[in-house]
Amino acid sequence: MTELRTTPTPEPASAHPERSVRRASRVTIRDVARTAGVSVATVSKVINGRDGIAEATSARVLRVVEDLGYESSLVAASMRRRRTHVIGVLVAEFEPFALQLLQGVSDSLADTSYDVLAYAGSVSAGDHVGWERRSLSRLAGTLIDGAVLVTPTVALPSASVPVVAIDPHTGSAGPATVDTDNLAGARLATEHLIALGHRRIAHLRGRGDLESARLREQGYRDALADAGIPFDPALIAEGGYRAPEASRGAATLLDLADRPTAVFAANDLSAIETVRVAATRGLRIPDDLSVVGFDDIPEASACEPSLTTVRQPLHRMGAAAVQLLLTMLDGGEAGHHRMPAELIVRGSTRPLPEHT
Amino acid sequence: MTELRTTPTPEPASAHPERSVRRASRVTIRDVARTAGVSVATVSKVINGRDGIAEATSARVLRVVEDLGYESSLVAASMRRRRTHVIGVLVAEFEPFALQLLQGVSDSLADTSYDVLAYAGSVSAGDHVGWERRSLSRLAGTLIDGAVLVTPTVALPSASVPVVAIDPHTGSAGPATVDTDNLAGARLATEHLIALGHRRIAHLRGRGDLESARLREQGYRDALADAGIPFDPALIAEGGYRAPEASRGAATLLDLADRPTAVFAANDLSAIETVRVAATRGLRIPDDLSVVGFDDIPEASACEPSLTTVRQPLHRMGAAAVQLLLTMLDGGEAGHHRMPAELIVRGSTRPLPEHT
DNA sequence: CTGTTAGCGCATTCAC
DNA sequence: GTGAATGCGCTAACAG
């Protein structure tokens, strides 16, 4: 009776012609066991290569597995097993920054026995602060052996698996982290604009809940101070690291009576948005306005004009996070890894014409 | 007794000072129940908003949930429940093409109640043909409600959940699919080169097991035939859609005694690789060699010189896949969705100088 | 060598 | 209203 409930279509998968697109109920280990005429445990042993199984039995089971197209459910297996050999990359949202990191993580995991699982936690939950705790709680301890958290917004409580944070909320506090020298990077960007003769330099802020955003603003202020340029609060607007907010912030700045001649945006996404808004105002880049971004996502060099920006070595950061994670999975201790920032000068900045 | 085994650290999570970076064991529904002084079932009902629970009890439970930072395990929940509200994007590997699609999928799922899970199946398993069946089998029916398969290499047997394939193996055969008009796109690319005066046009093939690769080669041949240019087998090399293979293929072509004046690469990744190899041979792009790619990933416009390519609307393709999937999840029937291809002329192509 | 037993963390009947 | 059973698909001990 319960057998029937488990497998509504008792005939082997290979037998029934797929004329309808109906869902075939999943092939479970019990289907295999029943078809092969052995117990569930035996199948499990064969699958997992445990020894103590007769050659003949093993072969027969494997044949059935092949015939039925059986593959063990990650979920069920992970519930019993210690390690799943899956690394989770937890992001708030799949945007270019996170995707570049993901590529780095994935590439450097290619030589290991780990698979990669990326999870966007706040897609359906809105911009809930604390998405990382939610995601971690849902996946850790069961599905993934370790996690890479991309721009977590809160300090993480001790998790149930090893965790490495990239561009964390609290700077280099807490557990293992990977980040870029945001302060120095922001200085580079601002000093570049100053060197080009700009003095009315605006800043489009990043997300208020991220340490990186705070540091980038600080670097901007420091550079201004060093150059003896007074700080003007009117030249700061909220960009939030994302297009919609950046669009509003950029509009605020560009509609100022005494418009800035340059904008340092807290990341590339908002810099690109600034360029877009400038276009709607009839402003040409870089003739009427210089723009600098941060991150150097592929879109930065792809846009027109190409964006001057501060490069974070995203691919290498992902790889570094993996190294730290593997160390922790091996029982070792992992620390903090800071990457240098690099100014990449492209087409969106130019010297301020003498006729200010 | 069993209580002790389940929770090695019986004290509430909030009680023990996190001085060590030791793993805290996951907070389970039982911890919540015990702390709140109710049964596990009661907690479950409160969490899932079932009615029939005293207001006071409900409030108390919710407080404990908040305090302990409890979140139901996706794994455990998905094993009992019907729907997990998670959509899986299954890819062989996280490369730019797949990542752009992922972004499209994710963005168009933002307004729904679904979360997104991306899984790279062949990371640890090598280039195993059939990764999609393996991944699907591991995740479907348990962890995800539906799946978007990116460039599956085999025709899928009926799966246990709704599935949409993007750029499928078998063209538009089988279940729901989304693809681009590869044949027309390849013609556009080749005709563009022909219009520029090129006649020795090479083709760097895509992955042999993909229909898209076959169609792109066919489009190339068709365009040559229409222009009355004889097909030369020596001008075809394997690119495999990936950098390492493309590198070898490009070298073969560029080291030919009678070198081609233009290369149509089956995708952007191999086109970019061709540009790279050309540089090592001292060839300038586009002066000494014109190169056209396919896909229009962000890297295509980012490279130097920017790449002339055939654009696939990747973001929209991801969104289209989601629409089909949601239809199927709603019990409806979904069909095939074909997107137009568009030639984007950039800096990597130019007219062949008269002095051939 | 193989089958039986006991859960993993959770949701779902059913009794109480 | 609440709580003890039960099972999801699977694996690890332990029996036979």
For residue B157, pLDDT over 90 is answered with no
In the structure encoding, which two tokens stand for residue B162, read together? 């709704």
Please tell me the predicted confidence (pLDDT) of residue B3. 31
Q: Which residue of A has its CA nearest to B105?
A: A94
Please name which of A9, A136, A127, A26 lies closest in space to residue A71, comparing C-alpha atoms.
A26
- Confidence label for B18 from pLDDT (cuts 50, 70 and 90): very low
Edge-to-edge strand list for the sheet holding B290-295 = B236-238, B201-205, B262-265, B290-295, B308-311, B342-344
Quickly give B140 CA vs D5 C1' distance in Å: 29
Q: Is B302 on the interface with A (CB under 8 A)?
A: yes
Please tell me the predicted confidence (pLDDT) of residue A10. 34
Q: How crowded is residue B154: how many other Cβ atoms within 10 Å of its Cβ? A: 14
**Taking a C-beta distance cutoff of 8 angstroms, is the pair A343, A312 a contact?**
no
In the structure encoding, which two tokens stand for residue A77, read together? 């297996």
Q: Which residue of A has its CA nearest to B73?
A: A138
Please tell me the predicted confidence (pLDDT) of residue B173. 60
Quickly give A202 CA vs C9 C1' distance in Å: 52
B112·A96 Cβ contact <8 A: no
User: Considering chain B, what percentage of its residues have pLDDT values greater than 70?
Assistant: 88
For residues B155-178, average pLDDT: 81
Touching A: B residues 206-225, CB under 8 Å? none
Q: Please tell me the distance in Å from A216's CA to the nearest CA on chain B.
A: 25
Over residues A200-212, the pLDDT tens digits come to 999 999 998 899 9
Distances (CA, A) of B252 to B235, B285, B289: 9, 18, 15
Please tell me the predicted confidence (pLDDT) of residue B16. 32
Between B85 and A100, the higher pLDDT residue: A100
Nearest nt to the CA of A27 via C1' is: D9
- Domains parsed from chain A with CATH numbers: 13-72 (1.10.260.40), 82-179+314-339 (3.40.50.2300), 182-312+343-355 (3.40.50.2300)
CA A207 – CA A249 distance, rounded (Å): 12
- Residue nearest C3, CA–C1′ metric: A39
Nearest nt to the CA of A81 via C1' is: D11
Over residues B281-334, the pLDDT tens digits come to 999 999 999 999 999 999 999 999 999 999 999 999 999 999 999 999 988 888
Nearest nt to the CA of B41 via C1' is: D3
Please tell me the predicted confidence (pLDDT) of residue B14. 32
Q: Please tell me the distance in Å from A264's CA to the nearest CA on chain B.
A: 21
For residues B198-225, average pLDDT: 96
Q: Taking chain A, what is the end-to-end CA distance rounded to the nearest angstrom?
A: 86
B158·A23 Cβ contact <8 A: yes
Residues 15-74 of B with CB under 7 A from strand C: 26, 28-30, 40-41, 44-45, 47-48, 50, 72-73
pTM of the model: 0.89
Please tell me the predicted confidence (pLDDT) of residue A160. 82
Please name which of A149, A144, A117, A145 lies closest in space to residue A133, comparing C-alpha atoms.
A149
Chain A, chain B: beta-carbon pairs less than 8 Å apart: 200
B112·A121 Cβ contact <8 A: no
Please tell me the predicted confidence (pLDDT) of residue A142. 80
Between A269 and B21, the higher pLDDT residue: A269
Please tell me the predicted confidence (pLDDT) of residue B48. 87
Please tell me the predicted confidence (pLDDT) of residue A107. 94
CA B70 – CA A141 distance, rounded (Å): 13
Nucleic acid strand D: bases within 7 A of protein CB? 1-5, 7-13
A123·B117 Cβ contact <8 A: no
User: Considering chain B, what percentage of its residues have pLDDT values greater than 90?
Assistant: 65
**Taking a C-beta distance cutoff of 8 angstroms, is the pair A138, B71 a contact?**
yes
- Confidence label for B4 from pLDDT (cuts 50, 70 and 90): very low
Low-confidence ranges of chain A (pLDDT < 70): 1-24, 122-129, 157-158, 171-174, 354-356
Please tell me the predicted confidence (pLDDT) of residue A171. 62
Over residues A66-125, the pLDDT tens digits come to 999 898 999 999 888 878 899 999 999 999 999 999 999 999 998 888 999 999 976 555
Residues with CB under 7 A from strand D: A 2, 5-6, 26, 28-30, 40-41, 44, 47-48, 50, 70, 72-73, 76-77, 79-82; B 38-42, 45, 52-54, 57, 76, 79-80, 141-142
Three-state DSSP string of chain A? CHHHHHCCCCCCCCCCCCCCCCCCCCCCHHHHHHHHCCCHHHHHHHHCCCCCCCHHHHHHHHHHHHHHCCCCCHHHHHHHCCCCCEEEEEECCCCHHHHHHHHHHHHHCCCCCCEEEEEECCCCCCCCCCHHHHHHHHHECCCECEEEEECCCCCCCCCCCCEEEECCCCCCCCCEEEEECHHHHHHHHHHHHHHCCCCCEEEEECCCCCHHHHHHHHHHHHHHHHCCCCCCHHHEEECCCCHHHHHHHHHHHHCCCCCCCEEEECCHHHHHHHHHHHHHCCCCCCCCCEEEEEECCHHHHHCCCCCEEEECCHHHHHHHHHHHHHHHHCCCCCCEEEECCEEECCCCCCCCCCCC
**Taking a C-beta distance cutoff of 8 angstroms, is the pair A273, A281 a contact?**
no
Q: What share of chain B is helix, strand, coil (3-state, %, to 5)?
A: 40, 15, 45
Can you name the residues that pair with B163 across neighbouring β-strands? Answer: B147
Please tell me the predicted confidence (pLDDT) of residue A267. 98
Q: Which of B96, B157, B302 sits opposite A18 (nearest CB)?
A: B157
Q: Is A336 on the interface with B (CB under 8 A)?
A: no
For strand C, is any atom closer than 7 Å to the CB of A53? Answer: yes
Contacts of A124 in chain B (CB under 8 A): 85, 109-110, 112-115
For residues B202-217, average pLDDT: 95
Q: How many degrees, rounded to 5, is the angle at CA A165 between CA A159 and CA A166?
A: 165
Nucleic acid strand C: bases within 7 A of protein CB? 1-5, 7-13
Q: How crowded is residue B39: how many other Cβ atoms within 10 Å of its Cβ? A: 12
Contacts of A119 in chain B (CB under 8 A): 115-118
Q: How crowded is residue B247: how many other Cβ atoms within 10 Å of its Cβ? A: 18
Please tell me the predicted confidence (pLDDT) of residue B51. 83
Please name which of A10, A23, A9, A15 lies closest in space to residue A67, comparing C-alpha atoms.
A15
Q: Is A13 on the interface with B (CB under 8 A)?
A: yes
Over residues B248-281, the pLDDT tens digits come to 999 999 999 999 999 999 999 999 999 999 999 9
**Taking a C-beta distance cutoff of 8 angstroms, is the pair B246, B273 a contact?**
yes
In the Cβ-directed half-sphere of A211, how many Cα atoms lie within 13 Å?
22
Edge-to-edge strand list for the sheet holding B163-166 = A336-339, A176-180, A163-166, A146-150, A86-91, A115-120, B115-120, B86-91, B146-150, B163-166, B176-180, B336-339
Q: Is B74 on the interface with A (CB under 8 A)?
A: yes
> Considering only A173-182, A238-247, B181-190, B202-211, which range has the smallest mean pLDDT?
A173-182
Please tell me the predicted confidence (pLDDT) of residue B171. 61
CA A292 – CA B163 distance, rounded (Å): 42
The set of residues, in sequence order, having a beta carbon less than 8 Å from that of B50 and lying 6+ positions away, is B44
Q: Report which listed range, B10-24, B144-158, B269-283, is most confident.
A: B269-283
Q: Which alpha helices (DSSP H) does chain B contain, by range?
A: 2-6, 29-36, 40-47, 55-68, 74-80, 96-108, 131-139, 182-195, 211-226, 243-254, 268-280, 298-302, 314-329
CA B288 – CA B290 distance, rounded (Å): 7
Q: Which of B115, B141, B333 sits opposite A123 (nearest CB)?
A: B115
